[in-house]
Amino acid sequence: MTEYEMVRKAGVQRTVIRSVAALIGMFAFAFALVPLYDVFCRITGLNGKVDTTAQAIVHEEVDQSRYVTVQFITRGSAGLPWQMSVATRQMRVHPGQAAEVEFTFTNNSHQESWGRAVPSVSPSNATAHVRKVSCFCFQEQLLQGDERLTVPLVFQLSRDLPEEINTITLVYTLYPVHNMAMGASVNNNNTLGDEI
Amino acid sequence: MAPKLPPQHSLQQSSTAVAGGQSHHEHHAQPKGIMRWLLTTNHKEIGSLYLIFSLVMFFIGGIFALVVRAELFQPGLQLVEPEFFNQMTTMHGLIMVFAAVMPAFTGLANWMIPLQIGAPDMALPRLNNFSFWLLPVAFILLLSTLLMPGGGPNFGWTFYAPLSTTYAPPSTTFFILALHIAGISSILGAINIIATILNMRAPGMRMMDMPLFVWTWLITAFLLIAVMPVLAGVITMMLMDINFGTSFFDAAGGGDPVLFQHLFWFFGHPEVYIMILPAFGIVSAIIPTFARKRLFGYASMVYATAAIALLSFLVWAHHMFVVGLPLTAELFFMYSTMLIAVPTGVKVFNWVTTLFRGSISFEPPMLFALAFVVLFTIGGFSGLMLAIAPADFQYHDTYFVVAHFHYVLVPGAIFAIMAGVYYWLPKWTGHYPHERLAQCHFWCSVVGVNLTFFPMHFAGLAGMPRRIPDYALQFADFNMLSSIGAFFFGVSQLIFVLVVVLCVKGGKKAPAKAWEGAEDLEWSVPSPAPLHTFETPPVFHRTHPSE
Ligand code: HEM
Ligand SMILES: [Cu+2]
């Protein structure tokens, strides 16, 4: 092997090592984006993601001068025979005032099943100002066959809610939970696909 | 400062014509028949394999497209079930992107990069063989999903979750596997190309002396290394969501389908540039040759390519204007997308200026290159229209988007590949392609492409949604035209096959320098290029004042 060829070979080796390092780095980066994205959304409130842990009520002076309309929308899900309804579709609250609404879940089938209501807030710049004191959406829920369950949502809008927001919409979407913890790995994906 | 001149070189000494079996590491007898092709590590043979594979896949993907166009010939559902229609649109996209356009460019890279930089072969010849043979495995697997219970992938080439996870057919796991294998193949190909370009150039050839095809491929290979792992990551997450109960993209478990789109397009937008940058390189070789002038603005071409590549990481969400981005994000992605049009415009400007006052002749490669410049630019303009976020709310997911990306991909990427094939066929086979037939192929293709895709602009602006097997009556005329154009275009590609086959078999003999104005190193080796070239490196000699 001539010296020229040796130099080439060393160069090629170096390039390959660097490329492989870059590859591994980018693969890891793709996975790192998942938590980063979540953190980003939570900090900025983008995407309407609300905190999924309970927050304490902050006792601040209620802003009597201002009314905000809060609307509630509930949506069912394919694959979960539940119905979800809300006591009032819409209410008016003052920023700083704690409020309570009741939601009712009904299992229309005779079998028990797990489900979860996933919340979303819009407009997204209101997200950070919706404080949930107690919410059914923090956990997955078990409903026995034909069971009907009424649960409250207690929330408070913080006083620093931006001026221009006068309507906030809270959407709850029901999703089936395939209970992995119980070892019954029921991945109904494909049957689900057929139903649709 | 001396004006920036493109490289102009001559060879002081080139020991190129080492014919077949004479090479020094080729003492043992070559395996014969199929084993020769299975085991070959020669860049020219592997290049040919890639190109043949790509051509076969181009026809398979084309047949899928014709199924789609046949169904859309008239409103109403007549030929295929909607489920099958969805599989056809999906498979068409996947095959064309991953099995036709990308392998064709890799094939051209294999053939031409060593010849253009004076290297004896690719840096990693065995890896090269492996990368190629992964491809047939990947795509036979992918095509076989069409025969599986529940059918093949039906969620579009962008495979948005949860369509591709919760609601996907059972064959999706095989789709993921196939895409993984194809991805590994492109990654290995990219590493090989980078290693070759950075380390195997003829002594004396600096980076800024490299032909633009080499430059654009180098940058493309970097893009591949940066984004193919992200694609691999996304499909791995899908695999886990489907089979292992995670919920990366499933809102029920705290995941987010919008995350899928962000990850996909972080790969997907650079991917569309992966499919166009090498095309820029080919066109930048052909236009100066047939205008008999040096390329105008060589250095600015290199910088523009690099700028496009860098910017392509900052624009992905222009595919997601309607997912509910906050206003600042809409604005950011709108302006960054428009910014990409600037370096792209620099390129178009340079090509046109190269043509200006050139003594132009219209051989088949040049015809395709000129059509590329004009029609690609139309695609760029419709891209700019889509980049206007508020307008995109109207255009998104309509046939206007379909028209846009087919203009940049068919008369863009694919015309450039065909231009490259016509340009280098004399080097590969030793014969010129049949001029009359090639012209006929060109004119049929130009008419076919425009007849197929131009009416889609109007259908889209009028609101026709994409990926739906039926449509409202007012779109009937546009669709009928598109379908006629598509069949015409499809059939004309048989002429291309005929020209290539005839050219391999015989035809007018080509000298080493097959085109009068061609300057790069590949024209210094005999035509057809012997199996082994540049066994001893040529000394590269620059004739213009250095920059
Ligand atoms: C001036 C340059 C370009 C601009 C401003 C541009 C802009 C855009 C925008 C805004 C979209 C999203 C439209 C929507 O879904 O509503 C889009 C889609 C697309 N573009 Fe471009 N583009 C440009 C060049 C290119 C090039 C060079 C290629 C490929 C070679 C390309 C391939 C695509 C593809 C494949 C899609 C559609 C993806 C899909 O949804 O299936 N574009 N483009
Ligand atoms: Cu894009």
Please report which confidence band the pLDDT of residue A64 belongs to, taking 50, 70 and 90 as the band edges. Answer: confident
For chain B, how big is the Rg over CA atoms in Å? Answer: 23
Rounded CA gap, A132 and A138, in Å? 10
Residues of B in contact with A180 (CB under 8 A): 245
The pLDDT > 90 percentage for chain B reads 86
Could you tell which of B311, B319, B372, B467 is best to mutate to test the pocket of ligand 1, judged by most ligand atoms within 8 Å of the CB? Answer: B319
Rounded CA gap, B533 and B545, in Å? 28
Mutation to test the B interface, candidates A13, A190, A196, most B Cβ within 10 Å: A190
The answer on A59 and A17 residing in a single domain is no
The answer to whether residue A187 is domain-embedded is: no
Angstrom CA distances, B379 to A174, B367, B433, stand at 42, 18, 29
Question: Would residue B92 show up in a list of annotated catalytic residues for this protein?
Answer: yes
Residue nearest to atom 4 of ligand 1 (CA): B383
Work out the minimum CA distance from B238 to partner chain A, whole angstroms.
Answer: 12
The answer to whether residue A39 is domain-embedded is: yes
**CB of A47 closer than 8 Å to CB of A143:** no
Angstrom CA distances, B161 to A10, A194, B57, stand at 44, 16, 26
Work out the minimum CA distance from A37 to partner chain B, whole angstroms.
Answer: 7
Rounded CA gap, B248 and B444, in Å? 47
Give me the residue from B150, B187, B252 closest to A190, CB to CB.
Answer: B150
DSSP B278-322: HHHHHHHHHHHHHHTSPPTTHHHHHHHHHHHHHHTTS-GGGG-GG
The answer on A127 and A34 residing in a single domain is no
For the cut 90, the answer to whether the pLDDT of residue B312 exceeds it is yes
Rounded CA gap, B456 and B403, in Å? 5
- CB proximity under 8 Å: A 77-96 to B: 77
Question: For all residues of chain B together, what is the average pLDDT?
Answer: 92
Which structure tokens are listed for B174? 């095989």
For the cut 70, the answer to whether the pLDDT of residue A102 exceeds it is yes
pLDDT tens for B231-254 read 999 999 999 999 998 889 987 777
Residue span of the structural domain in which A18 resides:
3-44
Instruction: Give the start-to-end residue ranges of the domains of chain B.
Output: 34-524
> In the prediction, which pLDDT does A189 show?
36
For the cut 80, the answer to whether the pLDDT of residue A56 exceeds it is no
pLDDT tens for B97-144 read 999 999 999 999 999 999 999 999 999 999 999 999 999 999 999 999
For the cut 50, the answer to whether the pLDDT of residue B214 exceeds it is yes
Q: Give me the CATH number covering residue A164.
A: 2.60.370.10
> In the prediction, which pLDDT does A186 show?
37
The answer on A31 and A98 residing in a single domain is no
Question: Would residue B157 show up in a list of annotated catalytic residues for this protein?
Answer: yes
User: Nearest Cα to B175, choosing from B145, B208, B130?
Assistant: B145
> In the prediction, which pLDDT does A141 show?
81
Residues of B in contact with A190 (CB under 8 A): 150, 168-170
The answer to whether residue A159 is domain-embedded is: yes
Nearest residue on chain B to A188, judged by CA atoms? Answer: B166
User: Model pTM?
Assistant: 0.86
> In the prediction, which pLDDT does A179 show?
55
**Interface predicted TM-score (ipTM):** 0.84
Angle made by CA atoms B104, B400, B408, in degrees to the nearest 5: 25
CATH code, residues B34-524:
1.20.210.10
As a whole number, mean pLDDT of residues B148-157 equals 95
Work out the minimum CA distance from B70 to partner chain A, whole angstroms.
Answer: 26
**CB of B280 closer than 8 Å to CB of B360:** no
> In the prediction, which pLDDT does B28 show?
57
The answer to whether residue A182 is domain-embedded is: no
The answer on A159 and A67 residing in a single domain is yes
Could you tell which of B340, B404, B417 is best to mutate to test the pocket of ligand 1, judged by most ligand atoms within 8 Å of the CB? Answer: B404
Residue scoring higher pLDDT (B169 or A178) = B169
Please report which confidence band the pLDDT of residue B534 belongs to, taking 50, 70 and 90 as the band edges. Answer: very high
Residue scoring higher pLDDT (A9 or B102) = B102
As a whole number, mean pLDDT of residues B417-429 equals 97
The answer to whether residue A104 is domain-embedded is: yes
Mutation to test the B interface, candidates A13, A15, A50, A171, most B Cβ within 10 Å: A15
The answer on A90 and A32 residing in a single domain is no
Least confident of A129-138, A151-160, B498-507: A129-138
pLDDT tens for B432-484 read 999 999 999 999 999 999 999 999 999 999 999 999 999 999 999 999 999 99
- B265 C-alpha vs ligand 2 centroid, how far in Å? 7
DSSP A120-160: EEESGGGGGGEEEEE-GGGS-EEE-TT-EEEEEEEEEE-TT
- Count of domains for chain A: 2
> In the prediction, which pLDDT does A52 show?
65
The answer on A94 and A10 residing in a single domain is no
Who contacts B310 (Cβ-Cβ below 8 Å, separation ≥6)? none
The answer on A153 and A90 residing in a single domain is yes
> In the prediction, which pLDDT does A164 show?
86
Residue entry with tokens 């860049």: B43
DSSP B73-135: TSSS--SS-HHHHHHHHHHHHHIIIIIIIHHHHHHHHHHHHHHHHT-SS-S-HHHHHHHHHHH
The answer on A18 and A108 residing in a single domain is no
Ligand approaching nearest to the C-alpha of B275: 1
Least confident of A94-103, B21-30, B125-134, B350-359: B21-30
Residue nearest to atom 34 of ligand 1 (CA): B405
Rounded CA gap, B274 and B292, in Å? 29
As a whole number, mean pLDDT of residues B144-161 equals 95
Which structure tokens are listed for B397? 């997911």
Give me the residue from B167, B232, B237 closest to A192, CB to CB.
Answer: B167
The answer to whether residue A157 is domain-embedded is: yes
The answer on A62 and A129 residing in a single domain is yes
- B415 C-alpha vs ligand 1 centroid, how far in Å? 18
The answer on A37 and A80 residing in a single domain is no
For residue A18, the number of C-alpha atoms closer than 13 Å in the C-beta half-sphere is 11
Ligand approaching nearest to the C-alpha of B339: 1
> In the prediction, which pLDDT does B523 show?
94
**CB of B431 closer than 8 Å to CB of B506:** yes
- For residue B534, the one-letter residue type is F
The answer to whether residue A191 is domain-embedded is: no
The answer on A71 and A13 residing in a single domain is no
The answer to whether residue A181 is domain-embedded is: no
> In the prediction, which pLDDT does A47 show?
64
Q: Does A177 touch chain B (CB under 8 A)?
A: yes
The pLDDT > 70 percentage for chain A reads 84
Q: Does B296 touch chain A (CB under 8 A)?
A: no
As a whole number, mean pLDDT of residues B68-82 equals 95
For the cut 80, the answer to whether the pLDDT of residue B87 exceeds it is yes
> In the prediction, which pLDDT does A49 show?
65
The answer on A103 and A39 residing in a single domain is no
